[in-house]
């Protein structure tokens, strides 16, 4: 083979010789697709419901099916990347995600769509932890690496904010299937570029601890099933009672096993201080409120206010773009005071504005007053999240940085999973938007308030790294 192509070995041996923006762009392709598919599908839900004539529970599964497998497998994906190599797992995950996107775009009914969304979440869980590791490894120069990581953070923020707008544009032009089929050419390009131009990172073999991971998957899956299907089966029905018991049993066994196992999936040192648990609790609560609200708003704007998919995407932009502004403010606040000021101040602002929304947001509220209230709450979240991440990295240190980051991401995705399921339950119980909105925003405000209390209790003395 080498004799037929004399330059092949050079390309294979030195993929990291590529400098500039190419490694960043290559790895961002998969990351952006995964980020978009967390948010973009929300805008498509009314169109999907119209075509397939499905109940609200199925719409919740379309969102949460992705988040479930994504959250449940993030930790094991990180362990697989260490054991088999980040590039190998990245390519496998991106391939699975691209194939699953094709299945989503061609799905003949809601059941197949839900299964394909779960497969998408599996792919995303595999390549998401590896992408940042590969990006860090691609740039040897520290200054260049820091600049690329800053650009990476900006791409993440912009893709999250732009998701509903991009989804609205694709649905307007091509129908809801377009939001999935657009991933096919992007995924193929990402696979080709990553295979040829991304250097393999060194392996760091460690024990996989499969039973603990399996118990975590069972606990999260049974909780998700109970929350989503409770209204359909009845909260006192046998399936829901069994799912609740399975959740409690699996969670208890997981805690017991982790305490006694020689190789726990989350190092015990991380729990030596209450700061790590508190920061993870805050991450869970923030995502519960923020992603639950996004699910709610996507339905509210279309069902209660008569917007189409494109109009919904446009109207969501001011409410979501402030996340990026909050990220920038957070860095300046932390530099002037400390990370605890950014964290506690941010979630407190989010709690206060969500409390205002309980009384101020109705189906008849004019767009701009309503948008400003939500935007200010999201601004607070944007301020809080970088500070929360900084606290976790401070507590973990370099030794446990990868495990701590994986645990935080898995915990935040679990919060998103529960938040969407909880919003679906409330909308099922309170079909009138005039009743549902105050109830929903009471839960959102309470989540942010509890996050603020955790920060004040455990993290107010946190300093900048």
Along the 465 residues of the chain, how does pLDDT read in single tens digits? 444 444 443 334 444 444 578 888 888 888 888 878 877 898 999 999 999 988 889 999 999 999 999 988 888 887 888 788 889 999 999 999 999 999 999 999 999 999 999 999 999 999 887 887 787 777 777 677 767 766 776 777 777 778 888 889 999 999 999 999 999 999 999 999 999 888 877 776 666 778 888 998 999 999 999 989 998 898 999 999 999 999 999 999 998 988 877 778 777 777 777 888 898 999 999 999 999 999 999 999 999 999 999 999 999 999 988 988 888 888 788 878 888 888 999 999 999 999 999 999 999 999 999 999 999 999 999 999 888 888 887 777 666 666 777 788 888 889 999 999 999 999 989 989 999 999 999 999 999 999 999 999 888 766 554
CB 447 within 8 A of CB 288: yes
- Residue 265's pLDDT is 78
Q: Is the dihedral of CA 335, 341, 344, 348 positive or negative?
A: negative
pTM for this predicted structure: 0.85
CATH architecture of 270-465: Up-down Bundle (1.20)
Nearest to 158 by CA among 386, 348, 394, 317: 317
N-term to C-term CA, the chain: 50
* CA distances (Å), origin 120, targets 65, 104, 116, 136, 218: 9, 9, 6, 25, 19
Please report the sign of the dihedral spanned by the C-alpha atoms of residue 435, residue 436, residue 437, residue 442: positive
Is there a common fold for 14-198 and 270-465?
yes
- pLDDT score for 150: 64
- Quote the DSSP letter at residue 461: T
Helix or strand run (H / E) with residue 465: none
| Residues sharing a CB contact under 8 Å with residue 355, sequence separation 6 or more, in sequence order | 441, 445, 449
Where are the chain's structural domains?
A: 14-198, 210-262, 270-465
CATH architecture entry for 14-198: Up-down Bundle (1.20)
Task: Give the Cα separation of 126 and 88 in Å (integer).
Answer: 10
The Cα 198–Cα 201 span in angstroms is 9
Phi and psi at residue 293, to the nearest 5°: -65, -40
d(CA 71, CA 75): 8
The Cβ of residue 260 has, within 10 Å, a number of other Cβ atoms equal to 8
Treating both helix axes as pointing N-terminal to C-terminal, what angle do 110-138 and 22-52 enclose, rounded to 10 degrees? 170
Distance CA 29, CA 148 (A): 15
**What is the structure's pLDDT at 18?**
44
- Measured CA to CA, the distance from residue 333 to residue 338 in angstroms comes to 7
Do residues 394 and 465 make contact, with C-beta atoms less than 8 angstroms apart?
yes
């Amino acid at each position: 083979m080498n004799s037929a192509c004399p330059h092949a070995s050079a390309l294979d041996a030195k993929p990291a010789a590529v400098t500039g923006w190419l490694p960043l762009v290559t790895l961002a392709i998969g990351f952006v697709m995964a980020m978009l598919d967390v948010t973009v599908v929300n805008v498509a839900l009314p169109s999907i419901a119209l075509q397939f004539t499905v109940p609200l529970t199925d719409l919740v599964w379309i969102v949460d099916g992705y988040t479930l497998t994504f959250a449940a497998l993030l930790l094991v994906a990180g362990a697989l990347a260490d054991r088999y190599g980040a590039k190998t797992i990245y390519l496998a995950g991106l391939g699975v995600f691209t194939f699953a996107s094709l299945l989503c775009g061609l799905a003949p009914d809601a059941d197949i769509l839900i299964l394909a969304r779960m497969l998408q979440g599996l792919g995303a869980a595999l390549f998401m932890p590896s992408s940042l590791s590969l990006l860090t490894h691609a740039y040897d120069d520290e200054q260049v690496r820091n600049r690329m990581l800053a650009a990476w953070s900006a791409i993440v923020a912009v893709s999250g904010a732009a998701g509903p707008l991009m989804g609205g544009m694709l649905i307007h032009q091509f129908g809801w299937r377009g939001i999935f089929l657009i991933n096919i050419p992007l995924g193929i390009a990402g696979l080709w570029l990553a295979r040829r131009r991304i250097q393999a990172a060194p392996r760091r073999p460690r024990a996989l601890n499969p039973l603990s991971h399996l118990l975590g998957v069972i606990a999260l899956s049974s909780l998700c099933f109970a929350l989503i299907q409770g209204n359909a089966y009845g909260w006192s029905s046998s399936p829901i009672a069994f799912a609740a018991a399975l959740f409690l049993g699996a969670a208890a066994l997981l805690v017991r096993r982790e305490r006694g196992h020689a190789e726990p999936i989350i190092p015990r040192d991380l729990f030596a201080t209450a700061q790590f648990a508190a920061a993870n609790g805050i991450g869970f609560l923030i995502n519960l409120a923020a992603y639950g609200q996004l699910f709610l708003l996507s339905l509210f704007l279309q069902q209660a206010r008569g917007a189409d998919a494109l109009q919904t995407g446009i109207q969501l932009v001011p409410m979501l773009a402030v996340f990026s502004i909050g990220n920038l403010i957070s860095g300046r606040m932390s530099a002037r005071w400390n990370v605890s000021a950014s964290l506690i101040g941010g979630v407190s602002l989010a709690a206060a504005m969500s409390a205002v929304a309980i009384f101020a947001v109705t189906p008849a509220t004019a767009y701009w007053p309503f948008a400003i209230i939500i935007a200010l709450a999201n601004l607070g979240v944007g301020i809080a999240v970088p500070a929360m991440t900084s606290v976790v990295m401070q507590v973990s240190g370099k030794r446990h940085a990868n495990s701590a980051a994986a645990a935080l991401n898995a915990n935040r995705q679990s919060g998103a999973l529960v938040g969407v399921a909880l919003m679906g339950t409330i909308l099922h119980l309170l079909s009138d938007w005039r009743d549902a909105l105050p109830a929903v925003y009471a839960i959102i405000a309470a989540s942010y308030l509890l996050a603020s209390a955790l920060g004040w209790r455990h993290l107010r003395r946190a300093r900048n790294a």
